[in-house]
Amino acid sequence: MKNFVRTIIFIGWIMAFIPLVGVAQRYVTRSRTVQLYQVLDVSLNSTSSVFDFSALANYENGIAKPGMITATVKANVPWKLTLTLASNTLSPQITPTPMPSSVIGIKASTASTYTPVQNNAPFFVQNNRGLYTIVFDLRALPGYQYETQEYLGDFYFTVSQQ
Amino acid sequence: MKYLYLSILFFGFFIRANAQPAAPSPCTALGTEARNKLTVVSEGTLNFTLGTLNSFETAQTYSNNIRLNVLSRDSKYRVYVAAELSLAGSPSTAIPMANFQVQTALVGTNPQNRITVSNVTLSGAYQQFVQRTNATNTAGDVFDLTVKLSGMNTYTQAPGNYTLKFHYRLCHY
């Protein structure tokens, strides 16, 4: 049995060695390292930035702007896109009744309910790595309690790693 | 029994150390090694680095990344390339092999009408990128290979280092 195993090993060596010699100079291999660094990027497109309350129906029902903002996220790590504001109150802030930013709601176009825009509980969407285009619907519903005025708010979309 | 273990260890090591794609067909090996061989003359960058958003968005070209010399004194020949990709660290999504393209340029004043070069999109199987219809002189033929990396703007691969291993094979036909 021992001699049999020895014979098998010897034949194996011979069979393995002969082809190796045959291709040694006719086969070469080289390696390269592909280094991927972290990518986190967001860009925005907006169809409009104005809610124009010029009719009674606007006050009654609010104004909805489907697809008002489109964000493109490029990330090779799991990501989170967060919406914050310069202030929880729209400008001008010195008025008898300052308008809170939460009169504006936002949702992904695939979602059903709006989330009030505010810093206390920021609206966010998140997903795994990849290239994403996310369409957001916005709605303004201030009601009647604010004086005639032009109100401004700065929205900040920030992408970060989860 | 110990011989059996040694045998298994040996064959396992041999297969691991010499793993390469299945040989193309036909692939004969005529003549001596001194007269018929494939040699790496020089190499360019060893690192393909994607460090900016733009480098993911646009195709990256690594010009003249490797220079090969083919000496084939005893027969007409073909040269093939294959590749494999491995990831270090935790499991992740591999870079598709089809994202890599090898572009071949014949260097010098070799008989152009006898040599055909082609660009190939890499895969795990050997693909022909050079063919010569007669034997070479004593100097052999020289080829510069440029590697192009594209299609990285899906962002589906995690950050980290990936090892791309090229296999080059000279065959007589």
Number of residues assigned to chain B = 173
Write down all domains in chain A, each with its CATH number in brackets.
40-161 (2.60.40)
Average pLDDT over residues A39-49: 93
Measured in angstroms, the CA of A16 and the nearest CA of chain B are apart by 8
CB A71 within 8 A of CB A134: yes
Write down all domains in chain B, each with its CATH number in brackets.
25-172 (2.60.40)
Binary contact (B169, A27; C-beta < 8 A)? yes
Binary contact (A35, B50; C-beta < 8 A)? yes
In our burial notation (b when 16+ CB lie closer than 10 A, e otherwise), range A152-162 reads ebebebebeee
- The position carrying tokens 């967060």 is A82
Average pLDDT over residues A117-132: 96
Average pLDDT over residues A34-50: 94
φ, ψ dihedrals at A22, nearest 5°: -60, -35
pLDDT grade for A112, boundaries at 50, 70 and 90: very high
Average pLDDT over residues A85-108: 91
Helices in chain A by DSSP H: which ranges?
2-23, 56-61
pLDDT at position B65 over 50: yes
Average pLDDT over residues B113-140: 94
pLDDT grade for A93, boundaries at 50, 70 and 90: confident
Closest Cα in chain B to A1: B1
Burial of A69 (0-12, 13-18, 19+ CB in 10 A): buried
Burial of B79 (0-12, 13-18, 19+ CB in 10 A): buried
Percent of chain B at pLDDT > 90 equals 78
Average pLDDT over residues A49-76: 95
φ, ψ dihedrals at B41, nearest 5°: -85, -45
A-chain residues near B159 (CB < 8 A): 36-39, 76-77
φ, ψ dihedrals at A56, nearest 5°: -60, -35
Binary contact (A32, B50; C-beta < 8 A)? no
pLDDT at position B51 over 70: yes
pLDDT of residue A10: 52
| pLDDT top residue among A48 and A69 | A69
Average pLDDT over residues B58-63: 97
| pLDDT top residue among B18 and B139 | B139
pLDDT of residue B92: 76
pLDDT of residue A5: 55
What is the overall mean pLDDT for chain B?
Answer: 88
Sheet order of strands, A104-108 included: A40-46, A63-75, A130-140, A104-108, A115-116
Average pLDDT over residues A139-159: 93
Residue closest to B163 by CA, chosen among B99, B84, B102, B65? B84
Q: How far apart are CA B79 and CA B77, in angstroms?
A: 7
Measured in angstroms, the CA of B77 and the nearest CA of chain A are apart by 11
ipTM of this predicted structure? 0.85
pLDDT grade for A2, boundaries at 50, 70 and 90: low
pLDDT of residue B59: 97
pLDDT of residue A18: 45
- The position carrying tokens 């999504």 is B93
Q: What is the pLDDT of residues B66-111, one digit of tens each?
A: 999 999 999 999 999 999 998 876 667 899 999 999 999 999 866 7
